[in-house]
């Protein structure tokens, strides 16, 4: 029973990691750029499957298509996203530059991070409450002993404590990333 609870918490941690990857910081650019969809060869492909992408500095990337015939398609589709930066075409590659984060943008991002963190804490508390309700029902139906009830409850509290520590670490890491 507790194993399912642990798995649910791990799913939440994975979801947090994915959400944090999508929040703009200096690392955001590469993740975002790799996943831009490019229309080429009568289909849509993620940019990372059509070109090599290398970082030139914090906000500048070099995109080298493996097939030069689609360089115009890549340039067009990156520009279509209105990401706020620039795309400069050289002979065999593109230079994609992202705008730096302003102080105002950073403050807004930090505010959003705190809201997201609170949202995940609420979700973890709901998981815990649901689990404890189910555990209490089992105790009342005499399916588990009083001892097992309290031991399991203690384990759940420890798991939540660990979850909160992980969440704090992940968000502190992201905050540092945003503030750079």
Mean pLDDT of the chain: 89
Same domain? For 116 and 169 the reply is yes
- Write out the residue range of the structural domain in which residue 164 sits: 2-22+102-179
Residue 14, pLDDT score: 92
Residue predicted with more confidence, 159 or 25: 159
The pLDDT of residue 12 is above 80: yes
Contact 124, 162 (CB under 8 A): no
Same domain? For 172 and 106 the reply is yes
The pLDDT of residue 74 is above 60: yes
Same domain? For 39 and 11 the reply is no
Question: In 41-162, where do the E strands start and end?
Answer: 43-46, 51-57, 60-65, 86-89, 94-97
**HSE, side-chain direction, 13 A CA sphere, residue 50:** 29
The pLDDT of residue 24 is above 90: no
Helix axes 146-179, 2-21, angle to 10 degrees: 10
Residue predicted with more confidence, 172 or 31: 172
Same domain? For 108 and 174 the reply is yes
Tell me the C-alpha to C-alpha distance, in Å, between residue 5 and each of 1, 12, 43, 64: 7, 11, 41, 45
| Mean pLDDT (whole number) for 49-61 | 90
The model's confidence at residue 176, banded by pLDDT at 50, 70 and 90, is confident
The pLDDT of residue 103 is above 60: yes
Residue 2, pLDDT score: 85
Residue predicted with more confidence, 32 or 144: 144
Which residue, among 80, 51, 49, has the nearest Cα to 66 in the 3D structure? 51
Which residue, among 159, 17, 38, has the nearest Cα to 96 in the 3D structure? 38
The model's confidence at residue 29, banded by pLDDT at 50, 70 and 90, is low
The model's confidence at residue 69, banded by pLDDT at 50, 70 and 90, is very high
Q: Which of 64, 79, 97 is the last residue of a domain?
A: 97
Domain of 132, CATH number, reads 1.10.132.20
Same domain? For 86 and 120 the reply is no
Domain of 41, CATH number, reads 3.30.1360.40
Give the count of domains, the chain: 2
Same domain? For 91 and 106 the reply is no
Which of 17-31, 77-91, 100-114, 128-142 bottoms out in mean pLDDT, i.e. has the lowest? 17-31
């Amino acid at each position: 029973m507790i194993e399912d609870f642990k798995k649910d918490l791990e799913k939440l941690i994975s979801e947090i990691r994915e959400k944090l990857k999508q929040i703009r910081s200096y690392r955001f650019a590469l993740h975002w750029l790799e996943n831009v969809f490019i229309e080429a060869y009568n289909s849509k492909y993620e940019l990372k499957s059509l070109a090599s992408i290398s970082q030139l500095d914090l906000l500048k990337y070099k995109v080298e298509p493996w097939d030069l015939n689609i360089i115009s398609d890549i340039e067009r589709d990156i520009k279509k996203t209105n990401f706020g930066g620039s795309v400069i075409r050289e002979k065999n590659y593109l230079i994609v530059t992202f705008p730096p984060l302003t102080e105002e943008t950073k403050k807004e991002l930090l505010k959003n991070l705190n809201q997201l963190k609170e949202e995940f804490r609420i979700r973890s508390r709901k998981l815990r409450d649901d689990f404890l309700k189910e555990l209490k029902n089992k105790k009342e139906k005499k399916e588990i002993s009083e001892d097992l009830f309290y031991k399991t409850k203690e384990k759940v509290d420890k798991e939540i404590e660990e979850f909160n520590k992980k969440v704090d670490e992940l968000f502190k890491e992201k905050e540092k990333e945003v503030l750079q």
